[in-house]
C-alpha cells in the first residue's frame, strides 16, 4: 500500500504524463492495482477456508494456484525491469482443479469465491491488460504550485518526513563516527542509506539481511585471507563472487551482501595489505548503521496504520456509497459496477487487516 501511494505521488509530479513512452508503465500500474485488489479480497474469509480445507484437499490446490501466481509475478517484474516482452502464460490446469473443488462443495462459498478471484488474477497475468477502466488520478488532489509546496512542507507530508528522517539519521551516524573515531565512518552512512525503506516491515527485513550478510561475509573473508591465494586467483574469485552477488541481488539481498562484503575486504587487502584489520570495524559500522536506521523508523515521525483508522473508515464509507449509487442508477454499467464492488471489498479487507494487526506496520 505504501508503494502504491508513493507511485501515485510520482505520477502526480510527471509533467509529460501523456507521453507515449509512459503508456506501457501506466498500463502496468493499472494491472498492479487490479492485482492488488483481487489478491487482497481473495485472502478474506479465513474461517470458511479452514472448513473447506478440513473437508477436502483444498489446501494443496489453493497453495498450487498461489505458487503459480507468485512465480508469474516474479517473471513479470523481471520483464519490466529488463525491458523484455512477456512470454505466454496459462494456468488452466490449476484453475480447472479449483473449479472442480468448488463444484464438489457447493455448500461452501469459498470455492467459488476463490475461483472467481484467482481466474481474474490469471487473466490479468496472461493478458497484462487492466480489467477495469479507471481514472488513475481521480482521487489524487491536484494543487497549484504554492499550495502544493505548502503541503509538501507540512509535517503531515510523507516526503518531508522521509527527508527529515533520513537527514537526521545520517547526521547522527556521522556524529557517532567522529565521536568514536571510527576508521571508516562512511560505512555507517552507507549502511543507513541502503537499509532505510519506505515502511517498517521492509526496513526490518532489509536490516536483518544486511547485518547477517555482513557477519557471514566477514567470516568467509577472514577464512579466505588466511589462505594467502595468488593475485590472479584472488582477482578471479572476486570477479566470480561479484557476478554471483549481482545475480542474486533482487532475489536474496542477504546472499548478495555476503558477496559484496567479501569483495570489499579483498579490495582493502589488495590496496592496503591490511584487510584483516578492517573486519571488526566493518561489522561495528554495519551494526551501528542498522541500529540508527531501525531507531529512526520507529521514533522519528512514524505513521502507524492504526492512527489512520478514522481516515480509512471514511474511505470505506465513500467506496460503499459509490457502489450504492451505481446500483440505484437507472442503467448501471456492468464493468463500472464490478469495479466499484472490487474497490469497496478490497479497501475493506485492507482496513480490517490493519485494524486487527494494530501497529504492525507503518506508512512511512
Q: What is the pTM of this model?
A: 0.67
CB-count exposure of residue 274 (10 Å: 0-12, 13-18, 19+): exposed
DSSP category for residue 85: P
What is the arithmetic mean of pLDDT over 304-321? Answer: 64
The CA distance from 240 to 237, in Å, is 5
- Supply the pLDDT for residue 360: 43
Q: Is 60 exceeded by the pLDDT of residue 168?
A: yes
The CA distance from 339 to 146, in Å, is 35
What is the arithmetic mean of pLDDT over 83-87? Answer: 82
pLDDT band for position 19 (cuts 50, 70, 90): low
Sign of the C-alpha dihedral, residues 203, 205, 206, 211?
A: positive
Q: Are 300 and 168 in contact (CB under 8 A)?
A: yes
Helix axes 110-127 and 58-81, enclosed angle (nearest 10): 20
Residue found under cell 483481487: 38
Q: Are 168 and 138 in contact (CB under 8 A)?
A: no
pLDDT band for position 202 (cuts 50, 70, 90): confident
Cell representation of residue 89:
502464460
Model pLDDT for residues 278-303, shown as the tens digit of each residue: 899 999 999 999 999 999 998 887 76
- Supply the pLDDT for residue 58: 75
- Supply the pLDDT for residue 215: 96
Lowest-pLDDT range of 84-88, 95-99, 105-109: 105-109
The CA distance from 62 to 95, in Å, is 10
- Supply the pLDDT for residue 309: 59
Q: Are 245 and 256 in contact (CB under 8 A)?
A: yes
User: Residue 218: which of 271, 282, 286, 277 has the closest Cα?
Assistant: 282
Q: Is 80 exceeded by the pLDDT of residue 254?
A: yes
pLDDT top residue among 95 and 22:
95
3-state helix, strand, coil in the chain (%, to 5): 75, 0, 25
Model pLDDT for residues 31-60, shown as the tens digit of each residue: 887 887 777 766 555 666 666 666 667 778
The answer for 44, left when phi > 0, alpha when psi is -120 to 50, beta otherwise, is beta
pLDDT top residue among 24 and 73:
73
Q: CA-CA-CA-CA torsion for 250, 184, 196, 142, nearest 10 degrees? A: -110
Amino acid at each position: 500500500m505504501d508503494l502504491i501511494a508513493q507511485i501515485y505521488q510520482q505520477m502526480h509530479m510527471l509533467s509529460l504524463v501523456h507521453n507515449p513512452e509512459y503508456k506501457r508503465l501506466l498500463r502496468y500500474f493499472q494491472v498492479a492495482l487490479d492485482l492488488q485488489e483481487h489478491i487482497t479480497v481473495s485472502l478474506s474469509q479465513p474461517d470458511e477456508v479452514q472448513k473447506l480445507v478440513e473437508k477436502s484437499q483444498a489446501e494443496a490446490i489453493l497453495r498450487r494456484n498461489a505458487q503459480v501466481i507468485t512465480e508469474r509475478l516474479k517473471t513479470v517484474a523481471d520483464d519490466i525491469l529488463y525491458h523484455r516482452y512477456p512470454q505466454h502464460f496459462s494456468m488452466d490446469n490449476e484453475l480447472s482443479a479449483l473449479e472442480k473443488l468448488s463444484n464438489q462443495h457447493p455448500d461452501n462459498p469459498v470455492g467459488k469465491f476463490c475461483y472467481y478471484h484467482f481466474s481474474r488474477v490469471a487473466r490479468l497475468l496472461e493478458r497484462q491488460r487492466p480489467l477495469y477502466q479507471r481514472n488513475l488520478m481521480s482521487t489524487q488532489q491536484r494543487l497549484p504550485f504554492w499550495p502544493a509546496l505548502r503541503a509538501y512542507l507540512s509535517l503531515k507530508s510523507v516526503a518531508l518526513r522521509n527527508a527529515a528522517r533520513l537527514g537526521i539519521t545520517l547526521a547522527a551516524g556521522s556524529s557517532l563516527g567522529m565521536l568514536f573515531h571510527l576508521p571508516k565512518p562512511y560505512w555507517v552512512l552507507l549502511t543507513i542509506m541502503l537499509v532505510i525503506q519506505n515502511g517498517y516491515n521492509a526496513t526490518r527485513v532489509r536490516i536483518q539481511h544486511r547485518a547477517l550478510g555482513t557477519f557471514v561475509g566477514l567470516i568467509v573473508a577472514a577464512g579466505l585471507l588466511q589462505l594467502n591465494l595468488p593475485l590472479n586467483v584472488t582477482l578471479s574469485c572476486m570477479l566470480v563472487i561479484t557476478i554471483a552477488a549481482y545475480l542474486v541481488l533482487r532475489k536474496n539481498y542477504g546472499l548478495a551482501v555476503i558477496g559484496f562484503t567479501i569483495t570489499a575486504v579483498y579490495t582493502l587487502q589488495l590496496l592496503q595489505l591490511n584487510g584483516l584489520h578492517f573486519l571488526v570495524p566493518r561489522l561495528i559500522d554495519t551494526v551501528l548503521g542498522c541500529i540508527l536506521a531501525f531507531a529512526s523508523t520507529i521514533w522519528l515521525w512514524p505513521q502507524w496504520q492504526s492512527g489512520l483508522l478514522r481516515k480509512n473508515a471514511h474511505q470505506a464509507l465513500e467506496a460503499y456509497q459509490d457502489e450504492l449509487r451505481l446500483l440505484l442508477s437507472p442503467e448501471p454499467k456492468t464493468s463500472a459496477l464490478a469495479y466499484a464492488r472490487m474497490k469497496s471489498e478490497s479497501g475493506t479487507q485492507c482496513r480490517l487487516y490493519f485494524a486487527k494487526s494494530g501497529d504492525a506496520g507503518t506508512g512511512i
